[in-house]
């Protein structure tokens, strides 16, 4: 594994278990402003399904964009798919991104290309041979339930179908990690459920899924690991979690990072932890 030696330099962790590791990560956009992330330590293990919840502005998007190395952290270490992302040089970034798939709330399909072309695009631009494209794309479209709609344009698809096409594009290169930024944000509950089943299926093939969401129903139904961010701080990290108090996550309610006022679900604050090691969360089934 090419990233192994670099990762071993970090020490004390067995590479192979964690696909995403945040070590006391802080991100400050403008000097003096409140940090977007503050001292965040999170480990995501191979094959895990993690919900990232929190109000708008709580740091979910910053978290995902740091994983993608769209930006570098102000402080702390980030390791993704065996790479030291905080110190990754720009020309190595494309290789990192090939280990990651990304899905967005607004699908981001290319409107002038058919479903097939949209998915094939992701392979073509990383230089995959034509034969590989021909073999893989129909397979993936079948997996996401879009066989027979290869020639449709995105505008001829429902929202759910567009998101399936976007997911197909994200996983067609078989990434280790799938990042989803509110993938059901534009979809009705029934359609959302279909998308979640699809993500679950992708997860069950060994792909790690990190999904930022506001959809409490989905989180409560799926019962997977939940990491809650508030004002850039991890305020809760639990296995088989629920969405939590809706009120406490809504942006109107400002809370300090020191919790105690919130009721209901158990919380664990990331700050105040003596060791950077986060609490290890048992995974379900695979690992």
Partner 1 sequence: MRFQFVAGEVAAGLRRNTTMVVAVILVTFVSLTFVGAAALLQTQIGKLKDDWYDLVQVSVFLCPTGSMMPTCASGEATAAQVDAVRDVIDTELSDEVEAVYLETKADAFEAFTERYPNGYQGTQLTEDDMQASLRLDLADPEQFAVVSDVLTGRDGVELVEDQRAVFEPLFRTLNVATLLAAGLAGVMLLAAVLLITTTIRLSAVSRRKETEIMRLVGASNLFVQLPFLLEGAIAAVTGALLAGLGLWLAVRFLVADWLERSVDWVAYVDAADVLTVAPFLVLVAVALAAVSSVVTLNRYTRI
102 binds partner 1 (CB under 8 A): yes
Strand arrangement, sheet containing 75-80:
37-45, 18-27, 75-80, 83-84
User: Helical H runs in 1-144?
Assistant: 4-8, 60-67, 93-97, 115-124, 130-143
153 binds partner 1 (CB under 8 A): no
Q: Please, what is the minimum distance in Å from the beta carbon of residue 94 to partner 1?
A: 4
13 binds partner 1 (CB under 8 A): no
Burial status of residue 78 (CB atoms within 10 A of its CB: 0-12, 13-18, 19 or more):
buried
Stretch that binds partner 1, among 11-19, 100-108, 151-159, 193-201 (CB under 8 A): 100-108
Q: Please, what is the minimum distance in Å from the beta carbon of residue 5 to partner 1?
A: 21
Q: Please, what is the minimum distance in Å from the beta carbon of residue 32 to partner 1?
A: 25
Q: Which of 24, 57, 61, 68 binds partner 1 (CB under 8 A)?
A: 68
265 binds partner 1 (CB under 8 A): no
Neighbours of 72 (CB within 10 A): 12
127 binds partner 1 (CB under 8 A): yes
65 binds partner 1 (CB under 8 A): no
255 binds partner 1 (CB under 8 A): no
Q: Please, what is the minimum distance in Å from the beta carbon of residue 128 to partner 1?
A: 7
User: Helical H runs in the chain?
Assistant: 4-8, 60-67, 93-97, 115-124, 130-143, 159-171, 189-204, 216-222, 246-249
Strand, helix or coil for residue 242: coil
173 binds partner 1 (CB under 8 A): yes
Q: Which of 9, 30, 90, 282 binds partner 1 (CB under 8 A)?
A: 90
Q: Which of 97, 164, 225, 267 binds partner 1 (CB under 8 A)?
A: 97
- 61 contact partners, CB below 8 Å, separation of at least 6: 181, 212
- 8 contact partners, CB below 8 Å, separation of at least 6: 15
Tell me the two tokens of residue 23.
């070590």
Q: Please, what is the minimum distance in Å from the beta carbon of residue 96 to partner 1?
A: 7
Q: What is the DSSP letter of 15?
A: B
26 binds partner 1 (CB under 8 A): no
User: Beta strands 225-230 and 208-212: pairing type?
Assistant: unpaired
130 binds partner 1 (CB under 8 A): yes
Q: For binding to partner 1 (CB under 8 A), which residues are involved?
A: 68, 90-91, 93-102, 108, 110, 121-122, 124-130, 133, 169-170, 173
């Amino acid at each position: 594994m090419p990233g192994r030696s670099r990762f071993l330099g970090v020490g004390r962790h067995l590479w192979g278990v964690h696909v995403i590791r945040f070590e006391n990560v802080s991100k400050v956009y403008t000097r003096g402003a409140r940090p977007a992330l503050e001292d965040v330590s999170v480990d995501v293990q191979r094959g895990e399904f993690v919900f990232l919840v929190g109000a708008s502005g709580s740091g979910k998007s910053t978290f995902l964009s740091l994983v993608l190395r769209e930006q570098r952290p102000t402080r702390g270490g980030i390791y993704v798919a065996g790479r030291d992302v905080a110190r990754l040089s720009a020309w190595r970034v494309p290789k990192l991104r090939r280990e990651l798939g990304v899905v967005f709330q607004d699908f981001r399909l290319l409107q002038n290309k058919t479903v097939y072309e949209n998915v094939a695009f992701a392979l073509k631009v990383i230089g995959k041979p034509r034969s590989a494209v021909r073999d893989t794309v129909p397979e993936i479209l079948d997996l996401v339930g879009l066989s027979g709609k290869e020639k449709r344009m995105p505008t001829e698809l429902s929202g759910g179908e567009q998101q399936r096409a976007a997911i197909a594009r994200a996983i067609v290169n078989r990434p280790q990690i799938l990042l989803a930024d509110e993938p059901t944000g534009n979809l009705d509950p029934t359609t959302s459920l279909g998308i979640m089943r699809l993500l679950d299926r992708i997860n069950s093939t060994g792909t790690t899924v990190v999904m930022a969401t506001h959809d409490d129903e989905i989180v409560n139904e799926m019962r997977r690991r939940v990491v809650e961010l508030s004002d850039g701080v991890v305020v809760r990290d639990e296995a088989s979690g629920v969405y939590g108090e809706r009120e406490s996550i809504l942006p109107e309610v400002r809370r300090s990072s020191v919790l105690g006022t919130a009721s209901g679900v158990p919380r664990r604050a990331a700050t105040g932890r003596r060791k950077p090691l986060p609490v290890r969360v048992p995974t379900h089934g695979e690992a």
